[in-house]
Structure 1
Amino acid sequence: MASNLNLTNLSLWQQTAFSAALLERMLPNYKMFSQAAEFGNPALLRNQLDLIWQRLGQGQVKINFAVQLEKLEEVIPDIEDFDFFGVHPALDTCMALGSLLQGIQDSDEETIGNVPLLSKSSVSYYVGLVLAQEQSEQDDIVIKEQDIEDHPLMQWEMATQEELFHALNRAKENSDTCKKLKQLALSEGMSSLGIELE
């Protein structure tokens, strides 16, 4: 299972690429929220993730991390300001991208390692809401952790993380690998929450 993947077996480059690929699946969740709430800037997040891919693929790309993190800070939604579900995955996306930028700047595996946790957490939260909705006519809504783990969306998240991990294990650290990872992450044409990509 993906939760048992040992990312420390991957190089820092591989861990960064792994997290960037997961963010490809998270970005559409932010975009959907942004359009519905008329808040934020999906193009900024897209540009920041593109900068990370360019750095991974070419190595010489300079990123002003302080400026990028400051820009990101301005488009992070506050959960208190929005009363619909979409704010949660949007916040997770921003936190994940911020962790990746900070982790690259600091060469910190632990910070980069927040990304797969946030990706999984986003799916878990959404699945919990779906299961609660399905039980809404019952007096007692009881959602077990196992019910969330067994849900197809969570199974897909775990399988995707595992697939990306194994693809990276034997991959060269170059732009071709970056392209393959992006294709792999988006191969189903859906975000991590099952939202169809435009």
Structure 2
Amino acid sequence: MAIHLPFAKLSHWQQIAFSAALLERMLPNYQMFSEAVDFGDAKVLRNQLDIIWQWLANRNTVKINIDAQLIKLEPQTPDPEAFDSFGVFPALDACMALTALWQLMQSKPQKKNKTSVVEVDDISSISRLSYNSVSYYVELLLLDEADTDNQDVNAAELAITQTQINAHPLVQWESDTQHELFDFLKFAAEDKRSCELAKKMSLSEGLSSLGIEII
């Protein structure tokens, strides 16, 4: 159930707002990993996303050195080969999504009602990273449940189908959230109130994309 939304129908501003809203659901996953293994600084990512929201609310006055922000983000990005915990993967996804969001902001918006191929690639990547974090986590959950229920079965014989993954509440929630954000932003005014509403939509349950409580 990969998510395929017509992102070319969104303006450059709307694409950035959509991506920022998804990042709100991904950052707590990074924070949990960072605290568990004592790697990185979640405050760097939080500060960068706050800066992006500030730009969205008042882009005519907020100036950002995006290259400098990318340099700050690089050392916060974990190497999955250096850690043996699952948490490294959603943490990496969050960093990659934030990197793609900065790149999206660097791309120049085209004329009204037109969107460059680069922009669509960037936002599609962010959408996919958000979805993949959830689907991979759900696959591991289902494998663990199947292993518990079938202790006499060889682990290699356990298989989780895509249909099972798609039916899981977390995957359904991820899909519903992305579609709701898209439908809202497609007609939203490019102003501070729309930012607040998009952010509120993404945080309405008080949980990250993986169901982690946001503190």
Report TM bin, short chain.
over 0.9
Distance 1:192 1:176 in 2: 23
Q: Does 1:165 align with 2:176?
A: no
AA at the equivalent of 1:61: V
Which one of the candidate residues 180, 183, 189 is aligned to 2:197? Answer: 180
1:66 is matched with: 67
Which one of the candidate residues 208, 212, 215 is aligned to 1:191? Answer: 208
The root-mean-square deviation of aligned C-alpha atoms, in Å, is 1.2
Q: Does 1:49 align with 2:49?
A: yes
* 1:173 positional shift: 0.4
Structure 1 residue runs without a partner (length 5+):
none
Distance 2:2 2:166 in 1: 11
Distance 2:46 2:27 in 1: 7
* 1:112 positional shift: 2.8
Once the two structures are superposed, the pairs formed by residues 28-107 of structure 1 within 5 Å of their partners are 28-59=28-59, 60-107=61-108
Which one of the candidate residues 118, 124, 144 is aligned to 2:161? Answer: 144
Give the percent of matched residue pairs that are identical in Structure 1 and Structure 2: 54
Deviation track 1:102-137 (CA, whole Å, cap 9, x = no partner) reads 111123412232111100010011011101101112
Q: Is the 8 A contact 1:21 1:182 kept in 2?
A: yes
Distance 1:174 1:128 in 2: 38
Bigger Rg over Cα: 2
1:19 is matched with: 19
Structure 2 residue runs without a partner (length 5+):
109-117
Q: Which runs of 4+ in 1 moved over 4 A?
A: none
* 1:2 positional shift: 7.4
Distance 1:196 1:135 in 2: 25
Distance 1:135 1:186 in 2: 31
Q: How many residues align?
A: 198
Distance 1:63 1:26 in 2: 22
Distance 1:185 1:70 in 2: 27
* 1:83 positional shift: 0.5
Deviation track 1:137-195 (CA, whole Å, cap 9, x = no partner) reads 23211011111111110000000001101111221000100000111000000000000
Distance 1:2 1:17, change over 3 A: farther
Q: Is the 8 A contact 2:33 2:91 kept in 1?
A: yes
Tell me the TM-score normalized by structure 2: 0.89
Q: Is the 8 A contact 1:104 1:112 kept in 2?
A: no
Tell me the TM-score normalized by structure 1: 0.97
Q: Is the 8 A contact 1:2 1:159 kept in 2?
A: no
2:142 is matched with: 131
Deviation track 1:65-107 (CA, whole Å, cap 9, x = no partner) reads 1111011001100101110110000000000000000111123
